[in-house]
């Protein structure tokens, strides 16, 4: 049995026919080509699969695609401008060494985007708490935290 599921993906309406047991992660990557969303632990522990669902961070590996029906899903591909230019947050990750192997980066960017949407001037402790669901084994987090705070300042300054 398959279900027709429709949602907005990075601002664009999409419709897919999915089996009820398929996760949002697999539909995004395999059916819709959004390979920026990574498959890590498949157990909601690492944050590599993080997407925004109606503006809130969500582990796509443990969320069924049919549950996204009628919702707004944003992947890392949706964070850049329509012309392809990078967001302030993406630029800051590059400038502050928040990217090494890159595997955790999409999830980090998603979580940080959600944080900055609700707190335009987060303290370092707030940034660390907001990223606590995202594991990175390469950077040591300092560059990532600096990047988020730098992007917040740039966004506030306009």
Which pLDDT tens digit goes with each residue over 18-28?
999 999 999 99
Which pLDDT tens digit goes with each residue over 50-82?
999 999 999 999 999 999 999 999 999 999 999
Q: Does the residue 83 lie in any domain?
A: no
For residues 65 and 92, membership in a common domain is answered with: no
pTM metric for this prediction: 0.95
**Which burial class, exposed, middle or buried, applies to 103 when counting CB atoms under 10 A from its CB (0-12, 13-18, 19+)?**
middle
Residue 71 · residue 8 · CB < 8 Å: yes
Residue 66 · residue 20 · CB < 8 Å: yes
For residues 20 and 44, membership in a common domain is answered with: yes
The tally of domains found in the chain comes to 2
Residue 45 · residue 29 · CB < 8 Å: no
How much is the CA Rg of the chain, to the nearest whole Å? 15
């Amino acid at each position: 049995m398959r279900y027709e599921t429709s949602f907005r993906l990075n601002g664009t309406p999409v419709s897919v026919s999915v089996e009820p047991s398929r996760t949002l992660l697999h539909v995004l990557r395999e059916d819709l080509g959004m390979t920026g969303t990574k498959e890590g632990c498949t157990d909601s522990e690492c944050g590599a699969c993080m997407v925004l669902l109606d503006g809130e961070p969500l582990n796509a590996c443990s969320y069924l695609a049919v549950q996204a029906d009628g919702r707004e899903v944003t992947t890392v591909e949706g964070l850049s401008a329509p012309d392809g230019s990078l967001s302030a947050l993406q630029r800051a990750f590059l400038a502050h060494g928040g990217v090494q192997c890159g595997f955790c980066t999409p999830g980090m960017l998603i979580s940080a985007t959600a944080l900055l949407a609700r707190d335009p001037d987060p303290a370092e402790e707030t940034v660390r708490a907001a990223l606590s669901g995202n594991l990175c084994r390469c950077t040591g987090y300092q560059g990532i935290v600096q990047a988020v705070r730098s992007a917040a300042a740039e966004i506030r300054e306009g």
